[in-house]
Chain A
């Protein structure tokens, strides 16, 4: 753990959008703290994944495809959770739930599809904003420490 401590000391304050503990354990897996090859590849992989997922979400919104939205939300939730991107994760979970016609807490609702779609639509905006913030922070992080 000594390493993680060292690493964390060097880490910027990610704010509340990123769970430091979770993210640090990924950083911990870097073989080289200078280039952070592994974690960087994970993070940038996530960026790509998120971008792709948002596009799919947009199109699914157009198609009013609730189930697709739900699974997309779940999909992104998994990776964002792994990276400790709590805000993104929470929003994705909402999308997942709304897509299943459930409320935020996962309880079934009787909302009609339109209602669910509008909720999702709002949430997607939120999630994008959250994501952009996180992306900015992370890119700065890797920009700073990277080569």
Chain B
């Protein structure tokens, strides 16, 4: 190398002489070498230069005729660099800095002319300068030839060289040689044009000064360079980084999200480092100078950190729920007159679709044709199995209900044409009723008023309250209890022949604080049902005497014959229909079939089949018989709760008048009733009161919805109106049968 230097020196000097004059400051520089040096270094785009140089050097090597080559020419100069770099060690570069303030040398190695200008004083000696930039130098020279290199520079330069070498080496060290090569190529490309510029334009150098490149990398990946201006702050660098990482970062992060870390390198030259996060306001150039006096190597790339979370661009999460909403909407709207209203459409007895809605509800998302429809069509729909265990613990509940909680906006947006019309007529506003979006979806339609959440949580709470009382359940109205608020005040008929199951179901009904009665066989069940006032029947399928399916069929038949609920208006299927509304009057229902108090049968009772069978065929059978829904044993209490709430709420809304009446009614005559009605039921008058009262709280909402329903469906009310008068009589009577 010595030879080379020797040979080169003259060349450099020349160049230096030319170049040095350029920078007026340069003379000063010797005193405060560092500052100028730094500037130079940054401007020089060290890495890029080095690389470019190397390439050139390679070419040159082959030529290997340094002598002949004039300083001015770029090509010639570069060759020198390569040889030098390898020889010199990093340590030198670093250590040298102290020794020779001129550190700037590196900068020279770096392509940038600007550095050259300032540094030149020092550089001049060694020529080293970059050689790569020989061209530049030439340009410079033109400006001030007067400046000659300072003698000292030479030594410093050599020392610095190494730093360049380091850079080159470092890439090689990195496993990512491939990347580096690619980078170098790209960089070299960039450089080339600049080089030409240098020659051509005097201005170029100025520009060059402002730009430099720094290494950055993401943790665990290869380093890359970004171009910065001398004065750039870390904040600016972040922007550049985002541009550089346009895909991986740029799409998801904003520059404020990005943090940069710098790894200290120890003076010792070791790479053991501590690190520091750079503040956005810090000057990149200065930081780099400070911490990497010899120049930044690839290994010292600033580390880019980004937060884990992604910035919510299009907020995919939100999008999903909305999407779902929209999905559901159409259906809801389609069915419902008042989309916003929770219960309306499906509940109105008049709509033939009622049952179908109900049947689908609790069970699953699969479309289930309603049982009545099955009778007519003769086809059995696919059945989902509600009993599936998985379901119980899973997140079912929250899923739809919560999201729906309708923000008015959503409703508006989603509303289909029909919906809008309705809305406008009834409610121009978005719908204040967020009561329950669930309602909108057919499945959940029933539940609306009731907080879904209640099922799991509340239960435990209830227990807590109850604990004190040991075994005895107080069915009395406990205003404080959660259940009261959650479960509609319905009357449930439990039909179950197994005493064990019966006891459990009873206990469960107690907890739900709903009224209930029991029947041990199908025949008994029908008898009980005829008393009226039941909203929900939990029907075991296999029963002695009369099995659950037969009992169900019988109940449906009686409903039809007596024109209860849906049947009164709905299709021809019922012969009764032709005769009009008269309940017991017509010949159709025989005396034995007529129901005592039609007022108590506002709508077809909901029959939920209970079966221990896992067979699909059994479920089909159950639906075909007229059951609305089914549960698989062992009955999951959570499911049961849900069923009770869903169906119960629906029924409660339909029978709102009934409820109101019941309230008064039950207060006065509860005792009688209980006696009259129940053989097996454990309900106490207190319980009834409690229920009803509890229900009162919700009534406001219910009223609203009900009123709407009524408006639309005045016809159905025929039976309903009679309710008031009949109500009292309903209590005890059984088969009194009207003529």
Asked whether A2 lies within 8 Å of B500 as measured between CB atoms, the reply is no
Contacts A1-B459, A74-B612 given: A42-B498 contact, CB under 8 Å? Answer: no
For chain A, which range describes its interface: under 10, 10 to 19, 20 to 34, or 35 or more residues? 20 to 34
* Neighbouring A residues of B638 by C-beta, 8 Å: 25
Taken together as a complex, chains A and B put the C-alpha atoms of A79 and B496 apart, in Å, by: 10
Does the CB pair B470–A83 fall under 8 Å? no
Q: What per-residue 1/0 map shows which CB atoms of A15-27 lie under 8 Å from chain B?
A: 0000101100110
Closest to B505 in A: A82
Question: Interface code A22-62, partner B: CB below 8 Å = 1, 0 otherwise?
Answer: 10011011011000011001100110010000000000000
Residues of A within 8 A of B617 (CB): 106
| CB neighbours of A1 from chain B (8 A) | 456-457, 459-460
Choose among B503, B633, B636 the residue that contacts A78 (Cβ–Cβ < 8 A).
B633
Q: Is the CB of A82 within 8 A of B507?
A: no
CB within 8 Å of A: which B603-649 residues = 612-613, 615, 617, 633-638
B713 within 8 A of A: no
A31 to B460, Cβ gap below 8 A? no
Q: Are B498 and A75 in touch, CB under 8 angstroms?
A: yes
Q: Are A42 and B503 in contact (CB under 8 A)?
A: yes
Contact B470 A79 (CB under 8 A): no
Residue on B nearest A70 in the bound complex, by CB: B542
Within 8 A of A (CB), among B433-469: 456-457, 459-460, 463-464, 466-467, 469
In the assembled complex, how far is the CB of residue A107 from the closest CB belonging to chain B, in whole angstroms? 10
Indicate whether A89 reaches chain B with its CB closer than 8 angstroms.
Answer: yes
Partner of A37 from B389, B393, B470 at Cβ < 8 Å: B470
Chain A residues with CB under 8 Å of B497's CB are 75, 78
| Given A74-B542, A74-B612, also A3-B470 (CB < 8 A) | no
User: Quick check: A21 and B460 within 8 Å, CB to CB?
Assistant: no
Which residue in chain B gives the minimum CB-CB distance to A41? B503
- For residue A79, which residue of chain B has the nearest CB? B500
* Chain A residues, CB < 8 A from B635: 82
Instruction: Give the total of B residues in contact with A, Cβ under 8 Å.
Output: 39
A84 near B: Cβ within 8 Å? yes
Q: Which residues of B contact A31 (CB under 8 A)?
A: 463, 466-467, 469-471, 473
Chain A residue, CB-CB nearest to B614: A93
Shortest distance between the CB of B660 and any CB in chain A (Å): 32
Residue of B nearest to A19 (CB): B634
Confirm or deny: A64 has a beta carbon within 8 angstroms of a beta carbon on chain B: no
In the complex, A93 Cα to B457 Cα: how many Å?
34
Q: Which residues of B contact A3 (CB under 8 A)?
A: 459-460, 463-464
B500 x A25 contact (CB < 8 A): no
Q: Are A49 and B499 in contact (CB under 8 A)?
A: yes
Number of A-B contacts (CB under 8 A): 93
Q: Which of B463, B499, B508 has the most CB of A within 10 A?
A: B463
Q: For the complex, is A77 an interface residue (Cβ under 8 Å from B)? A: yes
- Closest CB in chain B relative to A131 CB, distance in Å: 14
Residues of A within 8 A of B498 (CB): 49, 75, 78-79, 82
Give Cα A89–Cα B389 distance, bound, in whole angstroms: 16
A3-B460, A31-B466, A37-B470 known; A45 and B634 CB under 8 Å? no
Interface centre among A32, A46, A82 (most CB of B within 10 A): A82
A26-B504 in contact (CB<8A): yes
A42 & B500 in contact (Cβ 8 Å cutoff): yes
Of residues 390 through 422 on chain B, the ones whose CB sits less than 8 Å from some CB of chain A are 392-393
A82/B471 contact (C-beta < 8 A), A21-B392, A93-B612 known: no
Q: Fill in one digit per residue for A99-136: 1 if any B CB lies within 8 Å of its CB, else 0.
A: 00000001000000000000000000000000000000
Residue of A nearest to B640 (CB): A25
Closest residue of chain A to B467 (Cβ to Cβ) is: A31
Docked Cα-Cα span, A32 to B617, in Å, equals 41
Residue pair A81, B507 in contact (C-beta under 8 Å): no
Q: Flag whether B501 is at the interface (Cβ < 8 A).
A: yes
Q: Is A4 interfacial (CB-CB < 8 Å)?
A: yes
In the complex, the answer to whether B507 meets A89 with C-beta atoms within 8 Å is: no
Secondary structure of the A contact surface, majority rule: helix
Tell me whether A45 and B500 are in contact (CB under 8 A).
yes
In the bound complex, how far is the Cα of B635 from the Cα of A81, in angstroms?
8
Q: Does B45 contact A (CB under 8 A)?
A: no
A83 to B501, CA, bound (A): 9
**CB atoms of A82 and B457 under 8 A apart:** no
Residues of A contacting B540 in the complex (Cβ-Cβ under 8 angstroms): 78
> Shortest CB–CB separation between residue B235 and chain A, in angstroms?
49
Contact assessment for A81 and B612 in the assembled complex, using a CB-CB cutoff below 8 Å: yes
Q: Is the CB of A38 within 8 A of B507?
A: yes
CB distance from B383 to the nearest CB of A (A): 15
* B470 adjacent to A106 (CB under 8 Å): no
Residue contact B501 to A78, C-beta cutoff 8 Å: yes
Tell whether B217 is near chain A: CB-to-CB under 8 Å.
no
Note all chain B residues with C-beta closer than 8 A to A71.
542, 544
Q: Are A21 and B500 in contact (CB under 8 A)?
A: no
Q: Please name all residues of chain A whose beta carbon is closer than 8 Å to the beta carbon of B508 when the two chains form the complex.
A: 29
Cβ 8 A contact of B467, one of A2, A28, A32, A78:
A32
Known: A22-B634, A25-B637, A31-B469. A79 touches B501 (CB 8 A): yes
B460 touches A82 (CB 8 A): no
Known contacts A25-B636, A38-B507; A89/B463 CB under 8 A = no
Name A4's contact: one of B460, B469, B470, B496 (CB within 8 Å): B460
**Distance of A31 Cα from B465 Cα, bound (Å):** 9
The docked-state distance in angstroms from the alpha carbon of A75 to that of B544 is 10
Kindly state the separation between the CA atoms of A28 and B464 in the bound complex, as whole angstroms.
11
Interface residue B511 (Cβ < 8 Å from any Cβ of A): yes
Specify which chain B residues have a CB less than 8 angstroms from the CB of A28 in the assembled complex: 459-460, 463, 637
Chain A residues contacting B467 (CB-CB under 8 Å) are 31-32
CB distance from A118 to the nearest CB of B (A): 24
A4 to B638, CA, bound (A): 12
Instruction: Name the distance in Å between B620's Cβ and chain A's nearest Cβ.
Output: 13
Query: When A29-B508, A106-B615 are in contact, do A82 and B633 touch as well, CB less than 8 Å?
Result: yes
Expressed in whole angstroms, the Cα–Cα distance for A79 and B574 within the complex equals 39
Q: How far is the CB of B467 from chain A (nearest CB, A)?
A: 5
Residues B504 and A42 in contact, CB atoms below 8 Å apart: yes
**A109–B396 CA distance with the chains assembled, in angstroms:** 40
Min Cβ gap B81→A in Å is 72
Q: Is the CB of A83 within 8 A of B542?
A: no
Give Cα distance in the complex from A71 to B545, angstroms.
12
A82/B500 in contact, CB under 8 A: yes
A126 to B213 Cα, complex, angstroms: 81
Shortest 8 CB-CB contacts between residues of A and residues of B: A79-B500, A3-B460, A81-B633, A78-B498, A22-B634, A81-B634, A1-B456, A81-B612
Q: A1-B457, A31-B471, A106-B615 are in contact. List 10 more A-B contacts (CB 8 A).
A: A1-B459, A1-B460, A3-B459, A22-B636, A32-B471, A42-B504, A49-B499, A74-B542, A75-B497, A81-B633
**Subset of 7 A-B contacts with CB under 8 Å:** A1-B459, A25-B638, A31-B473, A32-B467, A74-B542, A78-B500, A83-B500
